[in-house]
Structures are given as structure tokens and as C-alpha cells.
Structure 1
């Protein structure tokens, strides 16, 4: 297991799960992706099961490797997802970037320590290996460039949609359940505090008051 795997699976797994969930939520702000996810009905009917399956897939790929027997099986499943109507190479590349960047960005912002250079390099290696396995175009020479690519993509493609807002309504409670218990009791305000401005605007979420944001930041230091 490489440095990225040890970080998200052994050292700070609870925080990594929150970050991965936030990465998934980020895709709801792209109307084309929201339409596909909404159309399957899985996130609306059983959000916990769907999110658990997504997390299990990504963490298995991170822990076992894209080229492992289980990794190859999961890549085959992702190829099937990629073949759904409405999913282009660019959209799929964005989703995978969100899954890689989500834990890293969350740990940078709220973790007990910043992500190291070695861990970032390993995260980029995972991202590149998975993208190559799926036949997706490269979107950066390192993790920072992947992040810049996603920001440019979001500037062009983020927007409000009824489907995106419905997906957020169905999964925001799941996000709250992954937080420390004192914060989870304050769920919609707490979950809203984890969203940045462009994401809140796309999902129709109001910015919480400053005291709530401060409380959230302090509470998240308890995550491991």
C-alpha cells in the first residue's frame, strides 16, 4: 500500500470518508452529471447504500491498486458506468478527479496535519493509473494541475438544477452522519458549512453564520 492508501485507509479514515463524500457531492453541481445520477434513482431511494457502494469501490481501488485482481474487476464496473448515455470522457474525468481531490482537500482544510508531498504524489499516481485504465485524457502533470483543471471546469460547468438540489436534499443527512456526534446534531447548518460558495449557489444552500463555521472547523479536528 502506498502513502495515499495509508493516509486514507489507516491513518485518517474517518476524515477521508467525509472528504470523499464531499467530492461526490461536488459532482451534483454539474447539471449533466446531476441528471444522470438523478435518473438512476439510486441516490434518491437509498442514498446511504449508494454512497457506501461508491466509497467501497474507491477505497478498494486505493488500497489494492488499479492493477490488482479486485482493481481490474472494479475498473470493469466503472467502464460500464462510463458507457451510460450522457457521460462523456470529460465528465467522467471530472468525477474521478473529485474522488481523488476530495479527501486531500478536506484533510488540508480540517485534518490533524496537512497532506505531505509524498502523499500528494501517491494520490496523483492513483488518479493517473485509474484514468489510464478507463481510457480518459490526462488533466494535469501533478495533483496541483488536476486541481486547477477541476476549477476551470467548474467555472464553465457549475450551475443550478432541480436534479442537483434533489440529490443534495437526499444525501446531506448522510454527510452529517459521518461527522462527530455534536456536529451531526446541527445537521443542515453544519453540512452547509462544508460547502464553498460556488457549490452552495449551485445547490441552493445558504451560507451558515460565522459562529457555525467556527464551530464546525473546531469540531472536525476530532476526526481521525
Structure 2
């Protein structure tokens, strides 16, 4: 799936926002203070942890450190098993759905199963019960969970306000003022947009964004398919870690005892 790396990066970014649409999860995220205080670092660290695990596996030195980090960060966090399972499921389903809708190609059944197996193993290592046997079961869980819990909330609106600058920064400068309707178009889910306080995009916006995504996919298909990972452990092309990062720098600051 190296050739879908750019699409998965966008999908991870969309999955990050999706958690804000669940009021009780948004409240927990707001209470930790990390998203408000360091929104860029929080978003980048989430992606890096996943990339480190994918690159090194669960039993490598770096992979074990990432699992330990996830368990440390989530220790004592309020939430049911389904809440934690939902967060993992967004990381599985949202990137694949974006690839299938807007990528240079659709994912294969084998790739979807491999991704499902990866997150099932991560759930096991994080002591989260009932991981999925198939991608299809995972998508039904995500859709049912959001049907039950997705709703507007003050906490979700606050998290969106703190993090919209991240999305604006990813857009071409002329589109930056239109970040909210563009993001809403990418979600393609009016209920989710309402829960996040985003406007429902008008037909012209939908057509424009979808034409842009179609042109992007066509351009990617004209390039040689990537055959190697674009992620280099310890390095990140971002203002958060301009000179690279050490594993101990990832995650929230440790609180003094």
C-alpha cells in the first residue's frame, strides 16, 4: 500500500477530527488540555505513533515503545470499551474510505483485511476487547456508534476551533478562508458536519472539491507507483519536529508526581 501513502495521510487527518463529533469523547479530550494547548503536536504525534507501529511492527524496540506510550497515555482516561474501540476504528475505516473514494486506486480485499488485522492486534495490546474479524464488521460498528452518539457539543466546537488552523495550513492559500466548507465536503456526511459545527457545503463547493480530488487522483495515477515507505522513523517534515524527534518526545508532557 506504499502507493496509497498520501491518501492514508489525509484519511488519518480526517479521522482525527471525527472524534470531536462524539460529545463524551470530545469532553475527555478537552479536559486533558493537550488539543487546546498543542494542537499541531497532538495531531502530528497521533500520526507518528501509527507510522512507527506500521514501520517497526508490534514486537520491535520502537513498536513496543509506541504501545507502551499508548497504554500510558490512556491509563485512567474515562471511557467504555466501545469508546476506545471507536477511536481505533476511525483510524482503520476513515483512511480506507477516503482511498476508495478519492485515491489513485481502490484498496484490495487483502489490504483491507491486513489493516483490520493490524488494528485488531493493536486493540489486543491495549487491552481493548472485541476487535473485529473483518473490515465490513468494523465499518458497521463505526456507522452504528456514530448513529447513536454523534451530536453537537460545546466541547466538540471548542476542539474544532483550536484545530481548524491545522487544516487551513494544509490547503492552498486561496482556499484557506474556505477551510470549513472544504472539510465538510471531505467528510461527505451532513450529520457529522452538524455535530462538528461545520456548514453543509453548497452544490458548487461540492462539485469544485470533488473535481479537484478527481484531478489529483488522475495526476497521481500518471506518476510511477511508490514502492517504498515515505516515512523515516525519527524524522518528520513538520514545524513540530523540524530536526526530527526522539521517541520520548512523543505524547503529552509527563506530569510531575
Provide the TM-score with structure 1 as the length reference.
Answer: 0.88
Please identify the structure whose Cα radius of gyration is greater. Answer: 2
Report what 2:202 is aligned to.
209
Q: Deviations over 1:72-129 (max 9, x none)?
A: 1111111122223313322111101111212111111111111111210111111111
Partners of 1:206 and 1:186 lie apart in 2 by 11
2:44 counterpart residue number: 52
- What's the secondary structure of 2:178's corresponding residue? coil
Gaps of 5+ in 2: 221-257
> What is the correspondence of 1:100-119 to structure 2 with a 5 Å cutoff?
100-119=92-111
Q: Distance in 1 between matches of 2:168 and 2:84?
A: 26
Q: Residue 4 of structure 1 corresponds to which residue in structure 2?
A: none
Shift of 1:49: 1.5
Please give the alpha-carbon distance, in whole angstroms, between the structure 2 residues aligned to 1:62 and 1:180: 29
**In structure 2, the residue corresponding to 1:187 is in which secondary structure?**
helix
Q: Identify unmatched segments of 5+ residues in structure 1.
A: 1-6
Is residue 121 of structure 1 aligned with residue 113 of structure 2? yes
Inter-CA distance 209–58: structure 2 relative to 1 (3 Å threshold): same
The aligned length equals 216
Q: Does 1:171 align with 2:176?
A: no
- Name the Cα RMSD after superposition: 1.8
Q: When the two structures are superposed, what TM-score results if normalisation uses the length of structure 2?
A: 0.78
Q: Secondary structure at 1:186's aligned position in 2?
A: helix
Tell me, yes or no, if structure 1 residue 34 matches structure 2 residue 21: no
Deviations 1:129-148 (A, max 9, x none): 10111111124320110110
Which residue of structure 2 lines up, in the alignment, with residue 3 of structure 1? none
